[in-house]
């Protein structure tokens, strides 16, 4: 699959559970013209047929190369970022939960469901395929949530893009990420304030901010219906280094706080 077709399909699935993204996209498109996507991100479970090492070749087959790797010890995650030789193609960030580092109770719940994953030959559509397992009960969801918000989110939502990212560098009316976030708040959307509304600094070469995730009602395995966080929209401003080269990587400390965008408010 060519990247253009991949991102078109990904966007359709993403906005189906993140309606705020389409509204915000249209808001910036009206003021700034074309809205450029800086990157997208995915979550998965380690040690399953959907583990990071299985998903990586699908990304590479679309022309990407691995850019860097990351270790989020507190959240028990590892991740890779990928970059395409065509600078107009968005970057990809893919992380996985190291389930074996969780408590026995959380491991038992997660492995009960990931055992349902069928081994299969995967293609790019896996990135908008959702759950490959039954919906957990509300009690199980909350039990995992108490230890890993990431794990609970993934159990309920499945393998889907958890955010697209507006490239602030390509906006025509502003290059100030604070102004961008103020526009979003004025439109009525909450932003992630963990570590401040803006994560990162010009000195770190990357500043990021995001909305808090949309919410949608899901029926859990026990039959109870509850509204839970789905996905969010991010904003990234990249700065040039001393040689004038605009930074294209990710900053682990920023990403750690961006993960909090799917927390329930």
Q: 104 pLDDT band (50/70/90 cuts)?
A: very high
| Domain count within the chain | 1
Range 9-24 average pLDDT: 97
Range 96-116 average pLDDT: 98
CATH code of the domain containing 172: 3.10.180.50
b/e 163-178 (16+ beta carbons within 10 angstroms → b): bbbbbbeebeebeebe
Percent of the chain with pLDDT over 70: 100
The neighbouring-strand residues paired with 39 are: 91
Task: Provide the residue range defining the domain that includes 122.
Answer: 3-262
Average pLDDT, the chain: 95
Give the pTM: 0.95
Range 240-260 average pLDDT: 89
Range 99-119 average pLDDT: 97
pLDDT tens for each residue of 169-198 = 999 999 999 999 999 999 999 999 999 999
Alpha helix stretches (DSSP H) within the chain: 3-17, 19-32, 52-60, 104-114, 138-145, 149-157, 177-186, 252-258
């Amino acid at each position: 699959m060519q990247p253009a077709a991949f991102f078109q399909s990904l966007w359709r699935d993403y906005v189906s559970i993140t309606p705020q993204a389409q509204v915000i996209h249209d808001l910036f498109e009206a003021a700034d013209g074309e809205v450029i996507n800086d990157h997208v991100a995915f979550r998965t479970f380690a040690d399953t047929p959907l583990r990071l090492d299985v998903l990586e070749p699908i990304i590479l087959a679309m022309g990407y190369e691995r850019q860097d790797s990351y270790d989020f010890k507190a959240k028990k995650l590892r991740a890779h970022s990928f970059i395409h030789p065509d600078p107009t193609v968005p970057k990809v960030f893919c992380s996985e939960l190291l389930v074996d580092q969780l408590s026995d109770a959380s491991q038992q719940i997660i492995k009960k469901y990931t055992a349902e994953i069928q081994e299969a030959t995967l293609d790019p559509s896996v990135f908008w395929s959702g759950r490959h397992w039954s919906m957990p009960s509300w009690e199980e969801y909350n039990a995992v949530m108490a230890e890993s918000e990431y794990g609970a989110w993934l159990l309920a939502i499945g393998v889907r893009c958890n955010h697209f990212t507006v490239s602030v560098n390509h906006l025509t009316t502003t290059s100030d990420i604070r102004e961008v976030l103020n526009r979003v708040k004025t439109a009525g959307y909450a932003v992630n304030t963990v570590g401040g509304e803006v994560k990162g600094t010009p000195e770190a070469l990357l500043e990021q901010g995001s909305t808090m995730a949309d919410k949608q009602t899901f029926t859990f395995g026990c039959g109870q219906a509850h509204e839970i966080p789905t996905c969010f929209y991010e904003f990234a401003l990249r700065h040039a280094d001393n040689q004038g080269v605009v930074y294209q990587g990710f900053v682990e400390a920023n990403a750690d706080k961006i993960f909090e965008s799917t927390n329930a408010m």
